[in-house]
Structure 1
Amino acid sequence: MSSRDYRIDRAKGILIFLVVLGHLLARTSPWESPILGAPMYFIYMFHMPAFVFLAGITAKSNKLAERVLTYFVLLATVLPLMWGWMWLFGLNPDYDFLRPFWYTWFLLSMAWWMITVPFIERFPRTMLVASLVVGLFGGLLPVLDTELSAARTMAFWPFFVIGKLYGKQIIDWAGSLAIWQKLCLSAAALAAVGYFFLDQVDYNWLYGSLNFAHFDVSVPEGVGLRLIVDIGAVLLTLALLSWLSNTKDTIATIGKNSLAVYILHGFVVRALQPVLDDSRNVLHDAVVLLICVALAVVWTGLLAWSPFERALRWWSSTVTGLLLKPFPFLRPEASDRRSGRGRGERGRRGDAVSPGDTYHPGDTYSEGDGPDRQGLGLQPMPGVGYQHSPGYEQHPGQQQSFASPAPVAGEPYPLPGSHEVPQNNATYETTQEVPAGAAQRAVRYRRLPVYLSGDEHR
């Protein structure tokens, strides 16, 4: 079992802080102010693409129905609560069942992205090309905009696919850069932000929620601007990842519990909205920025309290389990439990790959966890399983045992990993024809269990 990569948690911790800060600043009408507009361009240029990239790293296709339904359960839970919360504070909740309200778009988009995971695993190159084409040219579709989070789903889909296919390698590469390379990468990322800020590019491009028709641009101009925005997001994401260390600290803890922060911070921001709306009328913009930073630090830390995360995951997993109970064929882990398989996955129902997901690739071996599991492509050939191996015996009344038999006198027993196995050992060469007399010669050497080989758990 591989150790946890805290770089992912730390990246999530930093990004969820930027999410809270960005939403607090957004209540102050910041785009008109140079002091508030600069951090807004910085935050919105990459914080959600980076989150989508990290979500792709942790995305898996097992228990797919359960994972997808979890996002719909969270969406159906948050929306009515948010509408009631805003009504309580005298705010307009803006009902529209086809348009996810405010930050809940991410939950719906995650459900759509998760549905594509099996296809990404099966056709990686095709899906990578398809995601790039959809991400750049999706704005051409005039009928898809904020409805069902379609525009954002298409615009940010390439980051999800790249994270799924190459995320771990990209994190390792970014972390291995020399200091001067990290500085150059960071300078290029800040230059991209500076270009958008100084040229006053329409900040709505950063949201990814609108089609080209909204901006009244030609197709080449729209595709070009979408490409420039994506390049800026890539540079900023790589710059962030390059400076992260694999250390468990407070930031990593916040990242581990970032799902609760993401879900709950919206209620805090909306409760503060009446105050933040008028803050620039009585305070200098620099003071407003400092207040928002302080509020973001405090509330990010408070909402990252682990009981919030556990309660949220318990709720989503419980409701999801009840909804899927009449459909056992959509819950393969139930059959795994009946057959004694999937113990490593037990209790992980409802794991979401949203900002707070803690389910990293390599945490458990859910498939292919043994010598005869098809998941690793290790199905034994007929007649060459353990029960047919030389030296294997089963006595009446005893359970099957793979205990090592006593070595043949005069012949040393080859140690696991040893290469002192003769070429004519037919027990090892299961894909070749057995030469005459080889079975008698092979009886001197016991067939090593597959799980003793060091290559299968890399």
Structure 2
Amino acid sequence: MRNSFLDSSKAVLIFLVVFGHFLERMIGWHDPISHTVLATIYLIHMPAFIFVSGILYKDQNWLKNILFFLSLYILFQFLFIAFESLWSGQFHWNWNVLIKPYWVLWYLLGMMVWTALTHFLIQVSNQFALFLCILLSILIGLSPWNNYLYSVGRIFVFFPFFILGALYGKVIIAKIQQSITVKWWGVIGLFVCMILMYFIQINQYWLYGSLSYTQLKVSAFDGMFTRILCLMLSTVGVFALFSVMHFFQGKWLKLGMHTLPVYLLHGFVVILIARYWKLDVNIFAEMSICFVLSVLTCYILQQPVFDRILRKISLWLMQPTQKLLPVKK
């Protein structure tokens, strides 16, 4: 049975993903207002989405899910590159396309790694799994290699939110749903996050989680300290966001049920519109335009036909590998 609270939460989260990408591509981070909105979105939306992914993790389907995400990852990696080349008129093939996930596709690669690691972690020790993931999230920034390759930085920086969702997510969500006053604390928490983002004007690459401390040009101590603060703020933001879901429970369920096609396909829409429509008006008007475009994009891509298409095209890998999947008893 589906959880309407989670579906409504997923709907809000996927809208924030689409809205954030329209803002980033069409306005950018240079304006203090857009920077504040983008920073608040990026501080919260992917940690929260990954937290939900952890809640929905099912250990008995771990290998099947990895193959499903792999089938989409390989296909869309080439589709995005071909689409970008079509409109730019430039196509330069090299094998780097296989080690640098294209834009939004890092999440698919992350889902494969998080699913595999969680499967083994929960067999070894549930007690220390979250602590180990937090430690990896902090220490990955010390690595001497380019954290952007294979999205290794993002994968490990956001891993604690997946394992938190997998181990404790259902209990956390249940307690949030049971509380009457928590929604107002959520409003306060989101407001505090936005105020902090306005005054700090943080470098967005901290929120991406994609670079090492050396790449971010900070010392190891400053890097670890900043990452810990970002993890703490993101955690507060995640709990605040789910707390305010009391205001939206039962709404936009269709969108919440079809987040994957919206996530994968909205990138094509954003690339195309951002390439041919340059905004040059008042910042609030620009943000309003991005908001409307996000609503329209989500409304169109939430249609079940797109989800069915994704399921169909994933069969190119899923069908030949059926024998690898464990037989259900």
Q: CA deviation at 1:248?
A: 7.4
Segments of structure 1 that go 5 or more residues without pairing to the other structure are: 342-458
TM-score (norm 2): 0.93
> Percent of counterpart pairs with the same letter?
29
Please show how residues 12-411 of structure 1 align to structure 2 within 5 Å: 12-90=10-88, 96-122=97-123, 123-179=125-181, 181-245=182-246, 249-276=250-277, 278-280=278-280, 283-316=281-314, 318-325=315-322, 328=323, 330-333=324-327, 336=328, 341=329
Whether the aligned pair in 2 keeps the contact of 1:136 and 1:155 (CA below 8 Å) is yes
**Superposed displacement of residue 251, structure 1:** 1.4
Q: Pairwise CA RMSD of aligned residues?
A: 2.0
Contact 1:55 1:163 in 2 (8 A): yes
Normalised by the length of structure 1, the TM-score is: 0.67
- Matched residues in 1 for 2:190 and 2:139: separation? 24
Distance 1:170 1:299 in 2: 31
8 Å CA contact retained: 1:50, 1:159: yes
Structure with max Cα Rg: 1
Aligned residue pairs total: 325
Change (3 A) 1:48 1:186: same
* Deviation (angstroms), 1:245: 4.3
List per-residue Cα deviations over 1:396-447 (Å, max 9, x = no partner). Answer: xxxxxxxxxxxxxxxxxxxxxxxxxxxxxxxxxxxxxxxxxxxxxxxxxxxx
The offset of 1:196, in angstroms, is: 2.6
Q: CA deviation digits over 1:236-265, x for unaligned, max 9?
A: 211121132498745121011010100110
- CA shift, 1:207, in A, is 0.4
Aligned letter for 1:323? P
Gaps of 5+ in 2: none
CA shift in 2, pair 1:178/1:298, >3 Å:
same
Q: 1:105 to 1:91 in 2, by over 3 A?
A: farther
2-structure distance, mates of 1:92, 1:29: 24
1:356-413 deviations in whole A, cap 9, x for unaligned? xxxxxxxxxxxxxxxxxxxxxxxxxxxxxxxxxxxxxxxxxxxxxxxxxxxxxxxxxx
Structure with greater proportional helix content:
2
State the 1:323 CA deviation: 2.8
For the residue of structure 2 that corresponds to 1:4, the secondary structure is: coil
Q: Distance in 1 between matches of 2:113 and 2:269?
A: 27
Aligned letter for 2:3?
D
Q: Distance in 1 between matches of 2:197 and 2:90?
A: 31
Give, in whole Å, the separation in 1 of the partners of 2:118 and 2:90: 37
**Cα distance in structure 2, aligned partners of 1:182 and 1:9:** 17
In 1, the alpha carbon distance for the partners of 2:177 and 2:146 equals 38
Partners of 1:92 and 1:14 in 2: how far apart?
A: 36
Q: Is the contact between residue 9 and residue 256 of structure 1 (CA under 8 Å) also seen in structure 2?
A: yes
